[in-house]
Chains A and B, each alone.
Chain A
Amino acid sequence: MIAEMGWASASEIAHAVASGDRSALAVTEAALARIKRLNPKLNAFTTVTVERALARAAAIDRARSQGRNLGPLAGVPFAVKNLFDVEGIPTVAGSRINRDHPKAPRDATLIERLEGAGAVLVGALNMGEYAYDFTGENAHDGPSRNPHDPTRMTGGSSGGSGGAVAGGLVPIALGSDTNGSIRVPSSFCGIFGLKPTYGRLSRARSFPFVASLDHLGPFARNVKDLALAYDAMQGHDADDPVCAARPVEHAAPELGRGVDGVRIAVAGGYFRKGAFAEAIEAMERVGNALDVRREVDIPGAEQARSAAYVITATEGAALHLPRLRSRARDFDPAVRDRLIAGALVPAALVNQAQKFRRWYRERVLELFREVDVILAPATPCAAPKIGQQTFTLDGVETPLRPNIGIYTQPISFIGLPVVTVPVPLKPLPIGVQIITAPWREDIALAVAEVLEQARVALAPQPDL
């Protein structure tokens, strides 16, 4: 029997529903009640799909009564960043402009796959406008609020996803990560997040930001749930030309194998610059728990971050150029002014950034011949105050918004898989990135599980 549904894991819920201990309808009604109670405080949800969720839950209960297989996520409530297409509502992507779009005719592939595994969609989540954001703030919907301190940022751009999972509104949420938008909210909100290899999970029917850098992935409060959600979403999808034609490589059954023989190193050089005391402490705790004695320098990491910055600015601007012409005043000013600047960047710099990207990828893959895992901070600091404009990096006062992702950008730039684990420091948690070679999400999840079992990484329950 599950004592407290708000903090129950997805696997506990699925077990309870499959065994008949709880009905899917009861689980869904409890989730909807939590959302109703806590969302005014956290501002995580922009749409709650009440009727759809109740109908879906009732269908699961009928299926159980008929003895049908319910799937590994039976009755598990989940929600998605509002850039995923949800049938019947416009895909707003955090913007005012997209509210004028027609209703989406079909769900995003990843929603279809999670529901195919028995999960129940309960709504769409707040996000930074058009995903050009690391804060979780939104000029139109208001800021997502951190469950550990609602005066603080959730991180972005998947801010509502971070807040909804960390606040116990849902056990699983989906987000997107172009430069760090899964890993930053995971860090600030104290939860687990998986940014898979570029091309692993389908992006079909989600609103893009930077096509050559966009990833989708799950958030959860424990490693098993993260792996279950990831496994349910794997598989080729012809609707996303980037989605790789690889076989499904289930990670959940591999959990529990430990990390014997896994070669783990800490990222030095660039990744040691600018870290606040809490980021350093989190790295030390994780490194000590795994008995890491090796440090590696990721060659060209600083330039990689710069190249990601240039490609993001220019590809993002190219995507939004028609809207910048016709509806510039309807953008969040903080996003609009960056996009306009991006539209003006000379093409020669973009081409050089794309050439550098290939060079850098080859150097980093060489590094992965020597090690299996690289650890790096997820963010330079724990969650800042909502509205904070600057912070001090390496003794220099620096704009906050574009620089929260200094440690995430060089990694997603070449599509490496990363599990971000929460280190439960007081008063606020902070995340550490577990980075592996392409297509080795299984190793990152195994390392995360070892840290979770040692209670070095865990999602702290907020007092709400």
Chain B
Amino acid sequence: MTRRRKKQAARNPAPKRRKAAPRALPDPLDDFITAGARALDLAIDKSWMTAVREHLRVTLAHGAKVASCPLPDDAEPAPVFKA
């Protein structure tokens, strides 16, 4: 910094930066819910979002528990179509 600039800076100090209020990180599920709802043509009111997110989180956890059970590739699903 030149001497002149240093003098100017001393006369007109830069305004102090305000600390931004801590913002909650967006839940990664929110993007999934928003995109999924759009794809299904479902309108989700903002006030429903917390409950939908929690229900989805619980359901996905149940799904993960089932997915962790190793089953052979040729395992048939329970409903079997008969021609």
Contacts and interface: CB of A to CB of B under 8 A. Distances in A.
* A and B together in one complex: yes
A461 interface: no
A390 interface: no
Chain B's interface size range is: 20 to 34
A343 B43 CA distance: 12
Interface stretch (A178-186, A254-262, A300-308): A300-308
Chain A's interface size range is: 35 or more
A358 interface: yes
Contacts of A340: 37, 42, 44, 48, 52, 55
Contacts of B52: 337, 340-341
Nearest to B32: A344
A331 B60 CA distance: 23
Interface string A87-125: 000000000000000000000000000000000000000
Q: Binding site of B, secondary structure by majority: helix, strand, loop or mixed?
A: helix
Nearest to A304: B66
Contacts of B48: 333, 336-337, 340
Q: Binding site of A, secondary structure by majority: helix, strand, loop or mixed?
A: helix
B66 A349 contact: yes
Given A341-B52, A344-B32, A303 B65 contact: yes
A310 interface: yes
Interface in A298-347: 300, 302-303, 305-307, 309-310, 313, 321, 324-325, 328, 333, 336-338, 340-346
A85 B74 CA distance: 41
A409 to B, nearest CB: 10
Interface string B44-83: 1100100111011011101111110101000111110000
Contacts of A353: 63, 66
A353 B77 CA distance: 8
A418 B48 CA distance: 37
Contacts of A355: 71, 75-78
Contact of B78 (A336, A337, A346, A354): A354
Contacts of B45: 328
Q: Which of B32, B59, B75, B77 has the most CB of A within 10 A?
A: B59
B43 A328 contact: yes
A212 interface: yes
A349 B48 CA distance: 24
Nearest to A403: B58
Nearest to B50: A337
30 contacts: A303-B65, A303-B69, A305-B62, A306-B62, A309-B58, A310-B62, A310-B66, A321-B42, A328-B42, A328-B43, A328-B45, A337-B51, A337-B55, A340-B37, A340-B48, A342-B59, A344-B37, A344-B40, A344-B56, A345-B56, A350-B63, A352-B63, A352-B66, A352-B67, A353-B66, A354-B79, A355-B71, A355-B75, A355-B78, A356-B66
9 nearest A-B residue pairs (beta carbon):
A349-B63, A341-B55, A354-B77, A306-B62, A357-B78, A337-B51, A341-B56, A344-B36, A306-B65
Given A325-B40, A333-B51, 17 more contacts: A300-B69, A307-B66, A321-B40, A325-B41, A337-B55, A340-B52, A340-B55, A341-B52, A342-B59, A343-B36, A345-B60, A348-B67, A353-B66, A354-B79, A355-B78, A356-B71, A358-B76
